[in-house]
Structure 1
Amino acid sequence: MSVDDIIREALSSVDFPADKQSLVQQAADAGASEQALRLLRALPLGTYANKAEVLRSVPRDPDEEEGLSPAELARRARERTGKGRGRVAEHLREPKS
């Protein structure tokens, strides 16, 4: 079972929006696996609006990248290095000096 599947299953009964502590507590109350709880505990602090936000925020093991498309690998590399364009429209960016 993939990390995404484990998290989706653990969050099946979670009410959103929810902060990290609520996610862990609701998943534990619903009988989530220890692996799922460990992954949820590794989330950054914050409030999550939906499952997709949680899935994007779960720390990933580089060994799990096998089988990903080149586009997905590139997206993850940009997120890790911070050298991606970001999510700000070009006309709103600070000029480079």
Structure 2
Amino acid sequence: MTVDDIIREALSSVDFPADKQSLVQQAADAGASEQALRLLRALPLGTYANKAEVLRSVPRDPDEEEGLSPAELARRARERTGEGRGRVAEHLRQPKS
């Protein structure tokens, strides 16, 4: 089971938007595993609008990506950068054509 799968399962009954404490509490109340709770506790403080934001914010172990296919690595990179938008200041972005 991947980290993403563990988090998705733990957040299956969470109401969004939710802050970090609410995520941890709701996941614990729903019977999430200790590993899932540990991952959620490692999140940065803030309010999360949906599961995708949580998945992008979970700290990753670089060793976890070893042996993944190029397609899987690309998918994870897109998730971390917000659906491929990248983390570039608005005024530096190229206009969409």
Q: Report if TM-score (shorter chain) is over 0.5.
A: yes
Q: Distance in 2 between matches of 1:81 and 1:51?
A: 14
Q: Distance in 2 between matches of 1:15 and 1:84?
A: 25
Percentage identity across aligned positions? Answer: 97
RMSD, aligned α-carbons: 4.8
Q: Distance in 1 between matches of 2:27 and 2:82?
A: 31
Q: Look up the match of 2:6.
A: 6
1:65-89 Cα deviation digits (max 9, x unpaired): 1244557757978999999995446
- Select the structure of larger CA radius of gyration: 1
Query: In the superposition, relative to structure 1, how do residues 52 and 28 fare at CA in structure 2: closer, same or farther (>3 Å)?
Result: same
Q: Distance in 1 between matches of 2:91 and 2:58?
A: 31
Query: In the superposition, relative to structure 1, how do residues 89 and 60 fare at CA in structure 2: closer, same or farther (>3 Å)?
Result: closer
1:24 is displaced (CA, Å) by 0.0
For the residue of structure 1 that corresponds to 2:45, the secondary structure is coil
Query: In the superposition, relative to structure 1, how do residues 40 and 67 fare at CA in structure 2: closer, same or farther (>3 Å)?
Result: same
Aligned length: 97
Q: Which runs of 5+ in 2 are unaligned?
A: none
For the residue of structure 2 that corresponds to 1:43, the secondary structure is coil
Deviates further, 26-35 or 87-96: 87-96
1:20-58 Cα deviation digits (max 9, x unpaired): 000000000000000000000000000000000000000
Q: Which runs of 5+ in 1 are unaligned?
A: none
Query: In the superposition, relative to structure 1, how do residues 4 and 79 fare at CA in structure 2: closer, same or farther (>3 Å)?
Result: closer
Q: Distance in 1 between matches of 2:13 and 2:43?
A: 18
Deviates further, 20-29 or 61-70: 61-70
